[in-house]
Chain A
């Protein structure tokens, strides 16, 4: 299986988890990464700028209609849902919060399934709610690869645990393990 994209959802403790994961990834990544991190509606794009400065990948806050390109990391803007269009561009929406969240992890994951089908990798990281569980299970049903952060390692274990309970993901791993797996997949895919 070759993969076309990675989607990641994170909430409480996510900033640190994402920092560890994204900085552990090599440059020249063969797929784009789309990230929903739950964040307060009026925050600026500090996280994208910061991660961009310290990682080998290009990290940016997503703009509406921008083409989704390999090697880039797109962070959902505060107060907008982020969707993947089937022509592989970014869609944004202000529809109501889903399970108290905007951006919502489920909204990103479910739209990514339509765009990428089975060629999608979904990852649920730390968080104190159950966003992402439905989305991860949609990815699994479509034949994509599913990963949850090891709950005992997560700063907040509820989100990865809910995802594990509902989606029964292929892998349950600490951040280091996730980074290693993604790096391997990337190397194999490039051969």
Chain B
């Protein structure tokens, strides 16, 4: 029998439990209920590109060097994003959600896990084109301070614009995408007036609580990193934050179906994962 791999794996799993405990106690970030396969992959990746011999050695470092913790935080919070990611999702928002939002005199929007802000500016553009921007307050939150700094600037590498433009067009964009940014040699800066009604703020979905009552929550590709218990907890937070008849919008592979909160929602669009909180 080959017990070698199982033995190594057991040791690694113990080390992961310990480093996540250490991070939680020292820094308050709680990754203990994140998807294990993902956490393990990221920590082993960090390990292999470092001079450390084991995750235990990394644990020592993380406890004694806050800068090293920032590196680990970056590893564990996947920040990959793009503008109008999944164009059909934005098309569905425009066609199925916007008309209902228009019935409200004032609208609060929450982007949870907004990363570097591409998603926030994308939806801001939709709101502008639909004539709603002047009646919205947008909260854009993430637990990673560094990505929020980028989000606030609204400056992105120019080599991404081709992809963003194609997405914008497929998402039902009504203008020329270049109306929304100014380009220089290697970056583009988005129309600063898009920021007018956006507040970027640090918020941890695992450890922080409700901070506003909102009409729509967009939280995409964040919950896939959480285990079912944690997903449940976050769905409860969302349900508390939404007004009756408010909208919950998830990533294309995420669903509220298995959560305790499922009965409180109607499905607006099963493919694009658009849900409406019931009025009870």
Contacts and interface: CB of A to CB of B under 8 A. Distances in A.
B5 A65 contact: no
A96 B74 CA distance: 13
Most A CB within 10 A of own CB, among B9, B13, B253: B253
Nearest to B222: A94
Interface string A104-124: 000100110111011000000
A115 B35 CA distance: 13
B80 A143 contact: no
Interface string A85-113: 11000011111100000000001001101
B225 interface: yes
B37 A94 contact: no
Interface size for chain A: under 10, 10 to 19, 20 to 34, or 35 or more residues?
A: 20 to 34
Contact of B35 (A42, A91, A107): A91
A83 B80 contact: no
Interface in B85-132: 86-87
Given A92-B224, A94-B78, A85 B36 contact: yes
Contacts of A111: 37, 40-41
B224 A114 contact: no
B253 A114 contact: no
Task: Please classify the interface of chain A as helix (H, G, I), strand (E, B), loop, or mixed, using the class held by over half of its residues.
Answer: loop
B255 interface: yes
Nearest to B44: A110
Most B CB within 10 A of own CB, among A64, A83, A86: A64
B120 to A, nearest CB: 17
A8 B225 CA distance: 24
A93 B38 contact: yes
A65 B35 CA distance: 9
Given A80-B253, A84-B37, A143 B2 contact: yes
Contacts of A95: 38, 42, 78, 80
A92 B253 CA distance: 8
Nearest to B167: A42
A143 B5 contact: yes
Contact of B4 (A42, A65, A143): A143
Nearest to B255: A63
A117 B9 contact: yes
B37 A91 contact: yes
B116 to A, nearest CB: 13
A128 interface: no
A142 interface: yes
A85 B5 contact: no
Contact of A142 (B5, B13, B253, B258): B5
A117 B78 contact: no
A132 interface: no
A84 B36 CA distance: 10
Interface in A109-151: 110-111, 113-115, 117-118, 141-143
Contacts of B2: 117-118, 142-143
B259 to A, nearest CB: 11
B253 A77 contact: yes
Contact of A117 (B5, B35, B80, B224): B5
B213 interface: no
B221 interface: yes
Interface string B54-96: 0000000000000000000000001010000011000000000
B89 to A, nearest CB: 11
B279 interface: no
B254 interface: yes
A65 B37 contact: no
Interface in B200-253: 221, 224-225, 227-228, 252-253
A94 B221 contact: yes
Contacts of A80: 224, 253
23 contacts: A42-B86, A63-B253, A64-B254, A65-B228, A84-B37, A85-B35, A86-B13, A86-B37, A91-B35, A93-B78, A94-B80, A94-B224, A95-B42, A107-B41, A110-B41, A114-B9, A115-B37, A117-B2, A117-B9, A118-B1, A142-B2, A142-B5, A143-B5
Given A93-B38, A111-B41, 15 more contacts: A63-B253, A64-B254, A83-B41, A85-B35, A85-B37, A91-B35, A92-B224, A93-B224, A94-B80, A95-B38, A118-B1, A118-B5, A142-B4, A143-B4, A143-B5
